[in-house]
Amino acid sequence: MNLESTDGAWEIIGAKVDDDFTVTRSAFDEDAGWQCEVEEAVVTVVYEHLLEATERGIDWPSDPEQQLRIDHSSGLIVAPSVSSTEELREEADPNATGVIQTFTVTFVVPADLLEIQFFFDMPDRMYDQALDVWLYGISGNEAQYKTVDFAV
């Protein structure tokens, strides 16, 4: 993704969003019991996002309630539950060092929905702390679709 300031004076070329998701589907939990109604299933998505690149002084906010949905024939399914944790992570790559936010996004879907297409609207703005300027996506920030098939 490429980003630039509104006046075009500053840019970031080649920013990448980690699109590695872990997806589970269930209706029953050993500890908590039934998670949904009989005609429903619970789909949980867990993924990480570099919220703050501390070495570079860049904040990259993300809002999974607005950015991650399930694309269904009846329309987009919005997550009724989103939680997150933050952890400071040191990496050899200074672009990957910083505050990592792990999101757990929970959806309730029809029980017969086994092939699930996720719609991910990329976080397309960053804040540069040193320059005190917001940078916005100008290319490569198009929405992405990921499909998970639980019928296989």
CA angle 31, 36, 41 (to 5 degrees): 105
- Give residue 19's pLDDT: 67
pTM of the predicted model as reported, rounded to 2 decimal places:
0.83
Name 80's bridge partners.
none
Calpha distance 32→52 (Å, rounded):
34
Per-residue model confidence (pLDDT) at position 26: 92
Q: What is the CATH number of domain 2-149?
A: 2.60.40
Tell me: the pLDDT tens digits for 47-94?
Answer: 998 889 888 888 988 888 888 999 998 888 999 989 999 999 888 887
Q: CA 98: distance to chain centroid?
A: 17
pLDDT at 35: 86
Every domain of the chain and the residues it spans: 2-149
d(CA 44, CA 42): 6
